[in-house]
Amino acid sequence: MSLPFSRRYPIGAEPIGDGRTHFRVWARKANRVDVVVETTAEEDPSRTFHSLTPEADGYFAGFAPVNAGAFYRFRVDGDERFHPDPASRSQPQGPHRSSCVVDPAAYRWRDTAWPGVHLLGQVIYEMHIGTFTPEGTWPAAAEQLPELAAIGVTLLEMMPIADFAGEFGWGYDGVDLFAPTRLYGQPDDLRAFIDQAHSLGIGVILDVVYNHLGPEGNYLRVFSDDYFTDRYENDWGDSLNFDGPESRRVREFFITNARYWIDEFHFDGFRFDATQDIRDESEEYIVGEIGRAARAAAGARSIILIAENEPQQSKLVWPKADGGDDLDALWNDDLHHSALVALTGRNEAYYSDYRGNPQEFISAAKYGYLFQGQPYLWQDAPRGQPALGLPPEAFVGFIENHDQVANSAFGDRVRLQSSPGRYRAMTALLLLGPWTPMLFQGQEFGASTRFMYFGDAAGELRDAVQKGRFEFLKQFPSTASRETQAQLPPPADRDTFLRSKLNFAERESSRAIYDLHRDLLRLRRQDLRFREQKRSGLDGAVLGEASFALRFFSQAGHDRLLLVNLGKRFALEPLPEPLLAPPAGFDWQTLWTSESVRYGGPGPSDVVTDRRWILPAEAAVVLEPRRAVDPRRSPRKQEASEEC
């Protein structure tokens, strides 16, 4: 049947004007599908029914005389139970109630000149809208955007927002993948948030979960059993069917979802969650196909695609011509794990293959992943793929993220698990290193508020979630004791969620840490050596048991030397390391130090002296060359008896 209009997407409800909306749904197991139009999202005795016309490949489509704002559900084969649209654009009362027709053209965008974002030079900030502000809404979060822009954040990574059951949660159990959750506001509130971010020069990418759906409120099987497969194991639920029978329409569903977020909400890309559980043996891996479709939807705008991948499969960022998937970057867990061991001394559970020693940080700076195919004892198997040729910016470096903070027993920030000096030094390494740095919300001002695992659930699901979470934490000996387990915060308690909200008053009460991050981000932004992220212009050397140097080379002798000492005060004498030699005709002088009283340090001290270098305890120092004023002293002449 030819239509008098062109649909934006193959599924969902699209208002077309003249008081009509066109509906289309894939319901392969159905013989008949009706649209049930309701006046409210509650039970509605005055509802009306409108039959949809069956089409090829299991689709049903047709019109109903409603405008944007109308509530509706689908009835399958005359069943008295009605179900929300699998491609619903809004679920005002959650995933168990009616869907709502949304008109995306009603919002007037102001970002028409926004060019998009490129990976090089980005500073990422991961945020959870529900805990970022006390209100937990997009309008409230938008009020904080000018401050994030002022400190140097350039790219927001928004944790998942697909609607889910319950009143709070991380978002990784979303079930309505096209519906921005009602918990954070209206769809146009999200559009306004992104519009505001773009006006301040900040991009926004969305964390999308294409590896499973949540356990409650998922009605896809009402329409087709082909969405899922039992051929693959999955860490969180049923695997999605991307390569089995009838997978073509399943792939279309997720590709459409990505196009939708880019087109209708102007997102600047995605972070793909747990890609190791997106199983697909097709000729074209679904994540790569989704990414390419997203780029096409963006048109002239540039977008960024980042993957989380626990086994460190670097092929995700290889070009398609080389057998890769054309993504831009990968989360680098190796850097985090080394940093946490160095900061806390705990190399337990999945940290057990890391030492937190200087060579690990040098290797991370030069090569990205530490494991690129070597044996990995924790899993008793090789870990990683070769990544030596990837550019530094292709690795997202962090010392905090939502998972890793919450994987401490009580959601404590890493700052509170280490000494102040070591934390300042590690922060300098994170924000000046050649990778793409990422901060987790509140990290920039040393948030003392915890970030714990929380998710609203009831009955058997509540008990199962809590049991699963506590069992997961038992892999850490420090969390496995009966005493500790008895004190772990229950995920379904609302207080666990509320205690994870940021307190922006700490921007002032922790001003020293805030200034540390602001100054380091300014240095990264303004200093070409740190800004350009050139792997060919970087080398490193181990100086001691807990100290190392990274040298950032440039033309005309404008090098930078980053010294990091995570241990006690250390004197270098002698100095048989060429990376410490200044460029010809120059001496080294201190450009920046974590020892500054501005950051809560004891005050700067001389590092470079005539006979030795003295590295202050638990500190980072940046040296820059200055033109030598006095000629170097001549070496002592050899004794006459040694002459020929």
Active site residues: 273, 308
**For residues 187 and 138, is the Cβ–Cβ distance under 8 A?**
no
From first CA to last CA, the distance across the chain in angstroms is: 102
Return the SS3 of 199: helix
Tokens of 473: 């934490």
Residues 6+ apart with CB under 8 A from 466: 490, 491, 492
Exposed (0-12), middle (13-18) or buried (19+): which is 108, by Cβ within 10 Å?
A: exposed
Q: Tokens 């699963």 identify what position?
A: 468
Say how far residue 22 (Cα) sits from the centre of its chain.
36
3-state secondary structure of 436: strand
The DSSP H or E segment spanning 563 is strand 560-565
Q: HSE of 171 in the Cβ direction (CA atoms, 13 Å)?
A: 24
Sign of the CA dihedral running 475, 480, 484, 490: positive
Side chain identity, residue 213: L
Q: Minimal CA–CA distance to 176: which of 112, 84, 241?
A: 84
Is the peptide bond prior to 434 cis by the omega test (within 30 degrees of 0)? no
Residue 408 CB: number of other CB atoms within 10 A? 22
Q: What is the H or E stretch that residue 397 is in?
A: strand 395-397
Contacts of 173 (CB under 8 A, 6+ apart): 164, 165, 213, 214, 215, 216, 455
